[in-house]
Amino acid sequence: MELGTHYSRACCEIIAAEGGVSGLMRLIRVLNRSKPHLDLLIGVLNVLNSICHHQFLVPAVFCAEDSIAVLTERLQFFRDQEDVFMSAMAVLRKVLEYPGHALEVARMPNIIKQWEGIAQIILRKIDMEQKYIARLEGQKGSDYSAKEATRKVICGAKQLEALQSMISSVLAVANAHRIEVVHHNTLPFGCHQILPTGSVNLSQPPPMPEPSWVPKNTLVRYTLRDIQVRQQEQQLAALAAAAAAAEEESPRSPRSATKYLSAATVGVTEAAKREAELQQWQARQAAGKGSESSRSKNR
């Protein structure tokens, strides 16, 4: 089903027309945190994402049985699983981009309250991990602990940015229609700005700004850069896929495809430079450790 909906619009139409989306929502609700269920959950979310790729089928997902509530529950339940969280977030954002859906969600105060509660939890988790990294820097903790804590900070920042963007869009619609929404203030205090913010500009390679939070530990700094380089490579792969799709849809007018490909080409060069810098630093670290071991043997 995942492959069929990814490559065939007809499969998406069959699922949407026959009430299959409601069945998928019921399936999502009964899945637990075991590894087989996680794999199945990601597959179901990918199916919903493929259906939402076709705009005329988005209402079928929105009108399915408790669709917004079910997806919000998955955000809460799997906030420590980045792949599940971001897959559910992608479906929600596509649903809310359809005209009128954000206004309907703005009239659901419990949903907005849940989103803001999840944002508060993620924000506290980021703050806790940053304090842990600061303690590791002072006590010269293990390299593995520093890398794992840095990875958690990056994942949390990415999740928080996506969630805050979605909340802001719904609140903007609510204000435009004079709908009063009682909500918590979940504006973070800068730690989530580790990742690039805003939408990707297809005429330029994805930006790689300096993070607002810069750890003192050299290993943590280079781990942070390594993760950001990997994320940029994923964005470039998405650009290349979009270029291929644009060329396949309109082979006679390749301007859009050329735009994607030029951005991807420039971005690959920048990513290669950063990758070379990272490899040079790792080589220097390895050489330094080798010289220290030889000196200790001579002693």
pLDDT digits (tens, 9 = 90+) for 177-213: 888 776 555 444 344 444 433 333 333 333 433 445 5
Express as a percent the part of the chain with pLDDT over 70: 59
CB-CB neighbours of 100 under 10 Å: 11
pLDDT band at 101 (very low <50, low <70, confident <90, very high): very high
pTM: 0.66
pLDDT of residue 202: 33
Residue 177 and residue 106 in contact, taking contact as beta carbons nearer than 8 Å: yes
Residue 163 and residue 115 in contact, taking contact as beta carbons nearer than 8 Å: yes
Contacts made by residues 119-125, CB under 8 angstroms, sequence distance 24+: 119/160, 119/163, 119/164, 119/167, 119/186, 120/184, 120/186, 121/79, 122/79, 122/156, 122/159, 122/160, 122/163, 123/156, 123/160, 123/186, 123/188, 123/191, 123/192, 125/152, 125/156
Position 241 pLDDT exceeds 50? yes
pLDDT of residue 238: 67
Terminal Cα-to-Cα distance of the chain (whole angstroms):
65
- Residue 241, classed as helix, strand or coil, is helix
Question: Which has the minimum average pLDDT: 42-51, 148-157, 260-269?
Answer: 260-269
Pair of tokens at residue 134: 């600061």
Position 141 pLDDT exceeds 70? no
pLDDT band at 59 (very low <50, low <70, confident <90, very high): very high
Q: What single-letter amino acid sits at 184?
A: H
pLDDT (average), residues 37-66: 93
H or E stretch covering 133: helix 109-139
Question: Which has the minimum average pLDDT: 90-94, 101-105, 185-189, 211-215?
Answer: 185-189
Residue 48 and residue 92 in contact, taking contact as beta carbons nearer than 8 Å: no
